[in-house]
């Protein structure tokens, strides 16, 4: 199996690394890639992953027969449909299905039709009406999101009317804005592989999305600053998520002719009254993916072949029995005023390639290689993942290695995973 992974972020690096361990791999390519993927794959830096003709040309040149699409750009430009029409198998949602993510109005109406709990929401296209709504509800916490598909988590949660309105004005310049009640609770990210006959549930994760070093209350959302996997979930909560959100979603997709082979990720908040769906994603989340790949033992090529054959329901999930804590290293000013172009410190080769199984993994994000080193190009430069027999020990592994990636202005949250063991330590 010759595989091409489209993307250059830490999530794409992690997926490519997972593919590299497969017994079915004959060739592995990444476009446009990053400095970390070069150690186990062929980097194709000149291939634009959103250009369907360039991607097809690369497939023909290198004899690639499977393309994994996990980032939002190619999903919007018809890469999947173009490759499928030319006989190349793909992973990712086809064009007809992506509206479950890229049109929040549709996804919320879909959820309502199928009795799936979601926050109360309003959608605005007019600045005047939006301002009047926020002023009428002064002091109430809301989350503001774009209606359309966007990279990472472009949103803000706040109870300050001016903050909410100023952020909304920026989004309105590009399209409609969703204003929904802020839901406080325990977040869960659940990703499920789908085929025509069943599904395969990947390990659940908890993601840290705020810039602030706390998950309590509102704050400045980021693309994700850390993750824990697997998420400790009580059996009764797991059953509520399945019965109230997951299964009604699958039923609705079938009834509305939207079912597809690929990934569906649920962003959920568990409240005192039960689980609430916040968003659907037709791709994997970052940094949940970086934590997840560190503990799952199933062969990724094997899962892709099972999906093609509609036999996912027959695959038993295999985990290594450990926990993973992923910590994102970000650039100065992220997420509002990101400073880029900073040179990273020199990183030992065995960490660059994740060649040594020492309980620490490194996945690169918004960076690029230059003649004299690696430089930042965006907000989230890398993810350090600690892996050990429990969350406390995995947390220690991650933070003990955090200085592997440093540059002028680099920062990270200091609390990733702590809430899951603080009672044990008396904090």
CATH number of residue 279's parent domain: 3.30.470.20
**pLDDT in the model for residue 425:** 47
**Is residue 99 in a domain?**
no
Number of Cβ within 10 Å of residue 424's Cβ equals 10
Q: Are 78 and 13 in contact (CB under 8 A)?
A: no
Last residue of a domain, one of 181, 199, 221: 181
* pTM assigned to the model: 0.94
Residue 326 CA to residue 240 CA, distance in Å, equals 27
* φ, ψ (nearest 5 deg) of residue 401: -105, 5
C-alpha–C-alpha distance, residues 307 and 195, integer Å: 5
Residue 422 confidence (pLDDT): 67
Q: Which helix or strand (DSSP H or E) is residue 229 part of?
A: strand 221-229
Instruction: Answer yes or no: is 270 within a domain.
Output: yes
Same domain membership, residue 332 and residue 302: no
Is 105 a domain residue?
Answer: no
Domain hosting residue 41, numbered range: 2-92
Which CATH number do you get for residue 167?
A: 3.30.1490.20
8: Cβ–Cβ under 8 A, 6 or more apart, which residues?
30, 32, 33, 34, 49
Is 34 part of a structural domain of the chain? yes
Q: Tens-of-pLDDT digits for all 427 residues of the chain?
A: 999 999 999 999 999 999 999 999 999 999 999 999 999 999 999 999 999 999 999 999 999 999 999 888 898 899 999 999 999 999 999 989 999 999 999 999 999 999 999 999 999 999 999 999 999 999 999 999 999 877 656 688 889 999 999 999 999 999 999 999 999 888 899 999 999 999 999 999 999 988 988 777 777 888 899 999 999 889 999 999 999 999 999 999 999 999 999 999 999 999 999 999 999 999 999 999 999 999 999 999 999 999 999 999 999 999 999 999 999 999 999 998 999 999 999 999 889 988 888 999 999 999 999 999 999 999 999 999 999 999 999 999 999 999 999 999 999 999 999 999 865 544 4
Q: End of a domain among 279, 297, 314?
A: 314
- Residue 202 backbone dihedrals phi, psi, to 5 degrees: -80, 160
Do residues 292 and 197 share a domain?
A: yes
CATH classification of the domain holding 389: 3.90.600.10
Q: What is the DSSP letter of 37?
A: G
User: Among 137, 162, 181, where does a domain finish?
Assistant: 181
198 and 298 both lie in a single domain: yes
Q: How far apart are CA 122 and CA 181, in angstroms?
A: 9
**153 & 132 share domain:** yes
The conformation of residue 319, written as its DSSP 8-state character, comes to: B
Q: What is the pLDDT, as a whole number, of residue 423? A: 54
d(CA 351, CA 348): 6
Residue 413 lies in a domain: yes
Strand order in the sheet with 274-281: 199-201, 186-194, 262-271, 274-281
Residues 190 and 279 in one domain: yes
151 and 66 within one domain:
no
Strand 199-201 vs strand 262-271: parallel, antiparallel, or unpaired?
A: unpaired
Is 104 within the bounds of a domain? no
Give per-residue burial for 180-214: e unless 16+ CB within 10 Å, then b.
bbbbebebbbbbbbbbeebbbebbbbbbbbbbbee
Q: What is the dihedral of CA 169, 174, 179, 183, to 10 degrees?
A: -110
Same domain flag for 252 and 135 = no
Which residue has tokens 């039960």? 274
Q: How many residues does the chain have?
A: 427
Question: Total domain count for the chain?
Answer: 4
Within-domain flag for 111: no
């Amino acid at each position: 199996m010759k595989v091409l992974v489209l993307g250059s972020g830490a999530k794409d690096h992690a997926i490519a690394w997972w593919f590299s361990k497969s017994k079915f791999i004959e060739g592995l390519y990444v476009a446009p890639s990053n400095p970390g993927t070069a150690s186990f794959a062929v980097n194709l830096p000149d291939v634009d992953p959103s250009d369907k003709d360039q991607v097809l040309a690369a497939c023909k040149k290198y004899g690639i027969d499977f393309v994994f699409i996990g980032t939002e750009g190619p999903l919007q430009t018809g890469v999947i449909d173009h490759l499928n029409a030319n006989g190349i198998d793909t992973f990712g949602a086809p064009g007809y299905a992506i509206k479950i993510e890229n049109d929040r109005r549709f996804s919320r109406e879909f959820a309502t039709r199928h009795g799936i709990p979601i926050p109360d929401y309003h959608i605005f296209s007019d600045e005047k009406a939006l301002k009047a709504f926020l002023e009428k509800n002064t002091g109430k916490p809301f989350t503001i999101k774009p209606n359309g598909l966007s990279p990472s988590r472009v949103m803000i949660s706040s109870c300050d009317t001016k903050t909410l309105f100023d952020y909304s004005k920026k989004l309105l310049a590009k399209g409609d804005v969703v204003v929904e009640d802020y839901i406080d609770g325990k977040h869960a990210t659940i990703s499920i592989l789908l085929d025509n006959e069943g599904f395969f549930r990947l390990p659940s994760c908890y993601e840290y999305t705020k810039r602030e070093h706390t998950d309590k209350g509102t704050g400045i959302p980021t693309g994700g600053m850390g993750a824990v996997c697997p998420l400790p979930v009580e059996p009764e909560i797991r059953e509520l998520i399945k019965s109230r959100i997951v299964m009604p979603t699958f039923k609705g997709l079938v009834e509305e002719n939207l079912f597809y082979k690929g990934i569906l990720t649920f962003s959920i908040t568990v409240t005192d009254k039960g689980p609430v769906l916040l968003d659907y994603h037709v791709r994997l989340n970052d940094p949940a993916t970086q934590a997840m790949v560190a503990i799952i033992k199933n062969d990724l090529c094997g899962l892709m072949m099972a999906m093609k054959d509609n036999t996912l329901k027959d695959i038993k999930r295999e985990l290594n029995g450990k926990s993973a804590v992923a910590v994102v290293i970000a650039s100065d000013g992220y997420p509002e005023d990101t400073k880029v172009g900073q040179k990273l410190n020199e990183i030992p080769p065995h960490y660059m390639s994740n060649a040594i199984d020492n309980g620490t993994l490194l996945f690169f994000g918004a960076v690029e290689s230059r003649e004299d080193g690696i430089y930042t190009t965006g907000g989230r430069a890398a993810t350090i993942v600690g892996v050990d027999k429990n969350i406390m020990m995995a947390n220690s592994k991650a933070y003990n290695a955090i200085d592997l990636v440093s540059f002028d202005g680099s920062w990270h949250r200091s609390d990733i995973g702590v809430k899951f063991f603080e009672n044990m330590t008396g904090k």
